[in-house]
Amino acid sequence: MKKLKLVTLTACMLLPFLLGGCFDNREIDETAYIIAIGIDRGDKSDYSYTFQFSKPVSGGSPEGGESSGGGEGQSANKSVTNITVTAPDFYIAKNMTNNFLAKNIDMSHLKLIVFAKDIDPSGLSRHSQFLLREREIRPHTAVAVATQTAKEYMESVNPELEANTAKYYELMALRSNNIYAPDKTLSDFVDEINTHGKASALPLASVAEKDRSQAEPNTDKGLWVDSESAVLAAKQSDFRGMAIFKDGVMCGTMDGDSVMLYNILAKNIRNTIVTVRSPFNQADTFSFRISVNDPAAYTINNSTTPCRISVSQELDIEFLGSRVPAGFESTEQLLAFVRSIVESEMTDFFADISHSKQADILKIGDHFKRNFITQQQWEDANWSKIYETAEFDVDIK
């Protein structure tokens, strides 16, 4: 018995040493970690790949050395290095970069993949699929679309209040409280673009100075105060808006206010604040906090032509003011006015995604699909055609 206890004790003491080995025999200071990849169109059939490396010497602090890229554009972010390679294939570009560097490339810390807005659909699908199958890349890596080029966006990234650029990407692209941009992981995006009839929404990664300073305010919003006219002076880049994909093809973009409505309907956010103008004096504005209780509920009536879809959304609306504004007799009248504004904005949103974009990003078809017993019956119903001509009735409760 004592001998058995001695053997057990010896095994327990040796176990930590057996589990503490390094399976790949790599040292940290001998490895170059890619934290972001940008993919742009190149010349002819080539692609332009921008690899963003975290500088291990600086430890993610802004006091690191100058950013270099073998003759590429300089970045204001001193904690990363950007290297751009034009090649016909991703792995050729990666191998060329590996020959250029003295360290071994590692993609296990990749946080963000950025595609150019004008990349061809076949290239988008192909790159997404083999990046998902890459052993070192995690399925929950964030994906975005650049409003200009992926290279310009990555060179403009200079995080505020966050020394670690990799952590910045993780917080920005996949956080749950981003009001004006959706979040999307690589695995979900690949599933959606490779399934017939499915739609997907990716956040728009923009260079604030270039994309926002020249943007004109949207004057078609009526009493709704548009957020697109806001310009971030201190920020060089941001996530605002979304790119819509259907069957792997980008069919349009939507602004930040539309994304906010999308996030409310899908309950991707818990609450937000909206501002509207007074119908009596448009110089006066009122702000309201909207709390989202549940995702929107859909009732589909296919017995009429066109199909009518009733949208029921339960929201708690709170007026952020000390007294009822002039022109309104009570708080109830004021809240009813705000509900009518939100209902109007949501109705316009549904008309845009169904009639113009023809993309079911809210997956309303999944509710309609429950009415069919077999897959063949569902396919014969032709949901895409029904959705593209449907009329929406929005009711805010």
Calpha distance 104→335 (Å, rounded): 60
Residue 272 has pLDDT above 70, yes or no: yes
Per-residue tokens: 263: 């996030």
Q: What is the pLDDT of residue 21?
A: 56
Calpha distance 277→46 (Å, rounded): 50
Closest CA to 53 of 143, 72, 24, 190: 72
Calpha distance 147→120 (Å, rounded): 15
Instruction: Write down the domain spans for the chain.
Output: 28-211, 270-396
pLDDT > 70 in the chain, percent: 86
Q: What Å distances lie between residue 127 and 134, 177, 241, 312, CA to CA? A: 11, 29, 23, 39
| Average pLDDT of span 96-122 | 91
Tell me, rounded to whole angstroms, the distance of Cα 285 from its chain centroid.
Answer: 30
Per-residue tokens: 219: 């004057």
Q: How far apart are the first and last CA of the chain?
A: 73
Per-residue tokens: 276: 């509207």
How big is the chain, counted in residues?
397
Calpha distance 277→286 (Å, rounded): 6
pLDDT mean across residues, the chain? 85
Q: What is the pLDDT of residue 235?
A: 55
Q: How much is the pTM? A: 0.84
Tell me, rounded to whole angstroms, the distance of Cα 278 from its chain centroid.
Answer: 33
Is residue 77 helix, strand or coil? coil
Determine the CATH number of domain 270-396.
Answer: 3.30.300.210
For 9-63, the DSSP string reads HHHHHHHHHHHT--SS---GGGEEEEEEEEEEE-STT-EEEEEEEE-TTTTT-TT
Confidence of residue 232 (pLDDT cuts 50, 70, 90): low
Per-residue tokens: 64: 């690191």
Residue 51 has pLDDT above 50, yes or no: yes
- Burial string for 37-59 (b: 16+ CB within 10 Å, else e) reads bbbbbbeeebbbbbbbbbbeeee
Residue 67 has pLDDT above 90, yes or no: no
User: How does pLDDT run across 140-184, given as a tens digit for each residue?
Assistant: 999 999 998 999 999 988 888 788 888 888 888 777 678 999 999
Query: Who contacts 314 (Cβ-Cβ below 8 Å, separation ≥6)?
Result: 293, 294, 397
Other C-beta atoms within 10 Å of 3: how many? 7
CA atoms within 13 A on the CB side of 262: 31
